[in-house]
Structures are given as C-alpha cells and as structure tokens.
Amino acid sequence: MDTVVYRTIREQIAHRLRNEVLAGRFSQGEPLREAKLAKRFGVSRGPIRDALLQLTQEGLLTGQPNVGVKVSQSPSEAIRPLVVELRKQIEGYALAAIFDDITPDDLARWDQLLEGIKSACAAADLPALVARDMAFHRSIVERTGDPDLLAIWLPIVIRMMLHYSRHTDLMECYAEHERIVKAIKAGKKQQAVKALLANIW
C-alpha cells in the first residue's frame, strides 16, 4: 500500500493525473482541458491549473501558449539509448553515493516498496506497477538529499515511463528489484549497482 500523503488539492490531483498518464489512460499528445478536469474532480480551475503546471515542469505534459497542455511524447527510438544511459548514470551514482550510509529505515522502506511491486505484478495491475516501480527508483535518488539530482532525474524517468514496457511475465520485474534489495542487504555495492542498472532499459 502506498503511504505518501498528499496534503493539498493540487498535490492530490497531480498524483492522480500522473499515475493515469503513466498507466496509459491518456494517449501521448492528448490535450488535457482545465474545464473538463475541474468538472471531473469537482474543484475550481485554479488547483487544476496548478497541478497541470507541476506536471509540465516534471516533463509529463507539454505546454504551448494559448493552446494549453498535452501529454508529452516518449523519447524517439533515435535518442532512447541516450536517455537510458543518462538515467543509468544518475541512479548508479545515487546508489553508490548513499551505499555506506544506508540505514535500517532505508531497508524497511525498500522492503515495503518491493512488496508493492510484487503485489502489482501478481495482480497484473499495470497502473500500480508503473507507480511503484517509479517510487522505488525515486527513493534511491531522493535518498541522496540532493534536490538538483532529483530535478535532473525526474523528467528523464517520466519520459521513459510514458512507454512502459516490461517482461511478458511481470513477476520478472519484481525479481529484478528483489535482486537489487538483496545485494544492498548483503552489503555488496558493485553487485547492487549492477543489478540496478540491469533493471533500466
């Protein structure tokens, strides 16, 4: 179960829309209309506008003056290898940087996220899997405590998640994340980083 608490209306709406876009409930290039969303969520257009701005800053949406926002496109096949490599560099750096300072609280958090991934895979719940997969990797980057690193990583991973394709057997996704956590618990830095990078493709 996800434990993040979103305090403001903007945060709640951004969270819902983010998950829906990443789960493919909106097509790439599809416009998102303030008025329609305000009616759907039963709020004024102000929180909707703020939520859409946040998602635009994250790279999930693309905005154009006097046109509005639409769902961003996933990276083209030409640049996808570059995007994958950038993400690997950031996450590999993050895990190596925090490795010697990992605490029991960190391990408990990763165990919780791992269980969420396992449940989503077992249920073939793609929306939940996308959200929990992203939360797992985000927790590693956030653990560095460097907001600039997170700001660089976020639009990269979001663009990759727009075209979320995993194994035919979703449980292999769980197995990949389990290998990362097992290596961390064993104190094997190189093996943990290698397992993390193998999960990014």
- Which helix (H) or strand (E) segment holds residue 161: the answer is helix 147-161
Backbone conformation region of residue 126, classed left if phi is above 0, alpha if psi is from -120 to 50, else beta? alpha
Q: What is the pLDDT of residue 167?
A: 59
The domain defined by 80-198 folds into Four Helix Bundle (Hemerythrin (Met), subunit A) (1.20.120)
Q: How confident is the model at residue 2 (pLDDT cuts 50, 70, 90)?
A: very low
Q: What is the pLDDT of residue 91?
A: 98
Q: How confident is the model at residue 160 (pLDDT cuts 50, 70, 90)?
A: confident
The domain defined by 9-71 folds into Arc Repressor Mutant, subunit A (1.10.10)
Q: What is the pLDDT of residue 6?
A: 56
- Which helix (H) or strand (E) segment holds residue 31: the answer is strand 31-32
pTM recorded for the entire structure: 0.81
Evaluate if residue 128 carries a pLDDT over 80.
yes
**What would the pLDDT profile of 70-105 be if each residue is shown by its tens digit?**
999 888 889 989 999 999 999 999 999 999 999 999
- To the nearest whole percent, how much of the chain has pLDDT over 70? 94
Provide the residue ranges of all domains of the chain, joining segments of one domain with +.
9-71, 80-198
State how far the Cα of 39 lies from the Cα of 188, in Å rounded to an integer: 51
Structure-token pair, residue 119: 């449940």
What is the mean predicted confidence (pLDDT) over 124-135? 87
The strands making up 61-64's β-sheet, listed across from edge to edge, are: 31-32, 68-71, 61-64
